[in-house]
Structure 1
Amino acid sequence: MRIALLLSACLLCVGTHAAPVDVASLDRGTWPEKLTSPALFDVASRAENLMFAHGLLASEALDDAALKQRLGLKIINRAAIDDLRRQLWQRLLENYTFAQQSCEVDASFCYLVENMDDLREEAGKLQVSEDSFYIGWAAPSHAFHERYLDELLRKAALFPQISSEVARFGDHERNGDELNDRLFLLTFDGGPAPVSGNTDWLVDYLRKQKMNATFFVLGSSLQTRVQRSSAAEVEAVYQGQCVGTQGWQYRSHSHWVDWQSSITRSAALVQNLMPENYVPLFRPPYGQRRADSQGFFQAQGLQVALWDIDSQDEPGKLKAEESAQRVLTLMLLWRKGVIVFHDTQDKARVALPQLLQATGQSGLGWQDCREAFR
C-alpha cells in the first residue's frame, strides 16, 4: 500500500495572494488514480481534506491587515470569518472520519485522527515527498484549495452586508448539511432555456440516466417559454423533475423593493403550471437575500435552498471541463452536498456527463429531489 508522505517544502513557493476574481479549478488529471471504487474515492477524499485543512490552518496565522490584503478588501467581518472557520473545521473532521473507514483497504493519506487536535496536527505537518506517487497532484491541489478558501473567506468577510451561501440566517434556510455521506443533490439555476435548448437536453439526459434534479426557474423565463410553446409542453419538459423558483428575475433579492412579489408571483406560476413538479423552495440569485426575511418565508411555506458546491459555469468563468473538475474536487472535499449548475449554459451539457462518468464506480449516490430539504 502506498502511504502518502508529507507535503514537500516546495509548496511554499506557491503564491499565497490569489486575486478575488480568480476561480478555483483543479486538473483532475494530476491525480494518478481513477475513482473506480469507493475505497479509491476515499483516498482522494482524504487527500483533498488534508490539503484544504493545511491551507485553512495556515490562514489562521494572518492578522486582519494581512487578511484584508489577501482578500482584496478594505473592511472584513472578522467574527463571520472565525465562525466560518469553525464550521469548516467541524466539517473536515466529520469528512475525514468517514473517509478513513476504508484505510484497511488502502492506507494512502491515512493518519490517526480521532479528534480536532489530531486533524489540525496532521494538517500542519502535511507534506508530499518528491518521489511520492502523488507528487504531480500536490502543488496544483495546494493552489486550488488556497484559491477556493479565499473564495469562501471573502464571502464570509462581506457577510451579512452582502449575503451569500456561506452562512445561513435561520432554520428556514437549507444547504445540504443534513444529507448522508456520499449523497449529492443536483440542482440547476436560471432556466428555463428557450425551446429545444439546454433545459430540454438536460432533462432528457437525466431521464435516460434514471436521475432527477431540482430546477430553479425564473418566473419571467417560464412565462416566456409557455407563451412560445404551451403549458402542456412545458409540463412535459419537466416530467419527473422538481421545480422551485428563483424569483421573477435573476437579480439580488436583498435590496429589491419588490422582492416579496417576485417570489410569490413566480412560485404561484410554477405551482399552477406544474403542481406535481413544484417544490416550495426559493433559490436566491447570487445567494443574496434579506436577513429579516424568515417570517415571510415561513408564512409562504417556503424554504431558502442554498448550495455548497458551485460549478462556476457562468459566462466568463470556467470552461466546461474545468467546471466539471471543480465540482468533482469539491465532491471529494465535502463528501456530500448541493451541486449547482445553470441550465441556460452550454457548459452543463459537457460537465454533467463528464462528472457522472468520473464518479460512476465510486459508490456515491444522488439524492432524489422529491426527498430533499424535507
Structure 2
Amino acid sequence: MKYTVKSPKVLQMLYPKRLWRLDSTEKVIYLTFDDGPIPEITPWVLETLKRFDAKATFFCIGDNVRKHPEIYRELIQEGHRVANHTMHHVKGWKTPLLDYLRETESCQNLMEAGSDGTEISKLFRPPYGQLRSNQSKALQKKGYKIVMWDILSADFDLQLSPEKCSENVIKHAKEGSIVVFHDSLKAAPRLQVALPAVLKEFSERGFAFKCIP
C-alpha cells in the first residue's frame, strides 16, 4: 500500500485551489474523520472528542447517513461539522463525470434532508483522494470546497501498529494541520489507540481542536 504520511509540497502546489491545511499561527489542529457514521465506532469517537472538548469535521458517506440517521444527527447536535464523501465511496479515477456528480449531489441532498434544519457545509473530500481535473472543476463550479489533508494517520493500514499510527500524527502535525482519521471498522483497532494519544499529546501542548471553517 503506497501512501505518504505528509502530503508532498509539490501536490499542494499543483492543486492550490484544494484545501490542504489552514494557515495559522494559533495552536489549532483540524481533525477529520472519513467514511462514517457507523454505530460500531462513531459514538466512541464522539465520546472521546467530548472528553477533550474537541470539535472535528466528519466526511460522511451518504449511504451510512441513510442507514444511521440518528448517529448523523448526533454529530450535528454535538457541534461537529458534517461534510460530503460521496454516496457510496466511489473512486474518482474510475467513475465518469456525471456519475461522480450524481454521487456527490445525492450525498449532499441526503445530508441536508436529515439535518433538522441545520445548514450543511459544501466541504467535500474525494474518497481515496482520487479526483480527476474535470470532476474537480465541476464540483468547484457547484460551490464545493475540496478538502484534502497535510497529515495522514494511516489508520486504514492493516500492517501498521496503533503506536505507529499515533506517531504519524504526533511527529508531523503542527499549527493549522488537517489530519485524517477514519471512523470505520477497518481503522478501529488503530484509531482507538491513536485518537486518545493524539488528543492528549496536543492538549498538553496547549492546542485546540476545531472544525474546518
- Structure 2 residue 61 is matched with structure 1 residue 234: no
Please report how far the alpha carbon of residue 170 of structure 1 lies from its aligned counterpart in structure 2 after TM superposition: 4.7
**Correspondences of 1:158-197 after superposition (within 5 Å):** 166=12, 168-171=14-17, 173-193=18-38, 195=39, 197=40
Of the three residues 327, 330, 340, the one matched with 2:180 is 340
Name the CA distance, whole Å, in 2 between partners of 1:287 and 1:175: 11
**CA displacement 1:163-202 (0-9 Å, x = unmatched):** xx6555352x211142335321010011112x2x210110
Q: 1:203 to 1:277 in 2, by over 3 A?
A: farther
**CA displacement 1:2-25 (0-9 Å, x = unmatched):** xxxxxxxxxxxxxxxxxxx4777x
**Is the CA contact 1:23–1:317 (under 8 Å) kept in the aligned structure 2?**
no
Paired residue type of 1:179: S
Q: Which runs of 5+ in 2 are unaligned?
A: none
Paired residue type of 2:62: G
Name the CA distance, whole Å, in 2 between partners of 1:233 and 1:198: 10
Sequence identity of aligned pairs in percent? 24
Of the three residues 98, 102, 106, the one matched with 1:261 is 102
After superposition, the CA RMSD in angstroms is 2.5
**Correspondences of 1:263-282 after superposition (within 5 Å):** 263-274=104-115, 275-276=117-118, 278-282=120-124
Residues paired across the two proteins, number = 206
Please report how far the alpha carbon of residue 215 of structure 1 lies from its aligned counterpart in structure 2 after TM superposition: 0.3
Equivalent position SS for 2:25: coil
Equivalence for 1:79: none
Please report how far the alpha carbon of residue 297 of structure 1 lies from its aligned counterpart in structure 2 after TM superposition: 2.1
Paired residue type of 1:235: R
Paired residue type of 2:131: R
Please report how far the alpha carbon of residue 328 of structure 1 lies from its aligned counterpart in structure 2 after TM superposition: 0.6
**Is the CA contact 1:252–1:285 (under 8 Å) kept in the aligned structure 2?**
yes
Radius of gyration: which is bigger?
1
Q: 1:267 to 1:353 in 2, by over 3 A?
A: same
**CA displacement 1:287-325 (0-9 Å, x = unmatched):** 111213344223322110110000001042422221011
Equivalent position SS for 1:278: coil
Name the CA distance, whole Å, in 1 between partners of 2:63 and 2:127: 14
**Is the CA contact 1:176–1:338 (under 8 Å) kept in the aligned structure 2?**
yes
Equivalence for 1:316: 158
Equivalence for 1:111: none
Equivalence for 1:210: 53
In the TM superposition, structure 1's runs of 4+ consecutive aligned residues that sit over 4 Å from their partners are: 21-24, 165-168
**Is the CA contact 1:241–1:277 (under 8 Å) kept in the aligned structure 2?**
no
Paired residue type of 1:264: E
Paired residue type of 1:247: T
Higher relative contact order (CA 8 A, sep 6+): 2
- Structure 2 residue 202 is matched with structure 1 residue 363: no
Q: Quick check: which one's helix share is greater?
A: 1
Q: TM-score, normalised by structure 1?
A: 0.50
Please report how far the alpha carbon of residue 203 of structure 1 lies from its aligned counterpart in structure 2 after TM superposition: 1.1
Equivalence for 2:168: 326
Q: Which runs of 5+ in 1 are unaligned?
A: 1-20, 25-147, 157-164, 227-231
Q: 1:288 to 1:179 in 2, by over 3 A?
A: farther
Please report how far the alpha carbon of residue 260 of structure 1 lies from its aligned counterpart in structure 2 after TM superposition: 0.6
Please report how far the alpha carbon of residue 358 of structure 1 lies from its aligned counterpart in structure 2 after TM superposition: 2.1
Please report how far the alpha carbon of residue 282 of structure 1 lies from its aligned counterpart in structure 2 after TM superposition: 0.7
Paired residue type of 1:175: W
**Correspondences of 1:1-374 after superposition (within 5 Å):** 21=1, 152=8, 166=12, 168-171=14-17, 173-193=18-38, 195=39, 197-226=40-69, 232=70, 234-239=72-77, 240-257=79-96, 258-274=99-115, 275-276=117-118, 278-331=120-173, 334-344=174-184, 345-346=187-188, 347-366=190-209, 368-369=210-211, 372-373=212-213
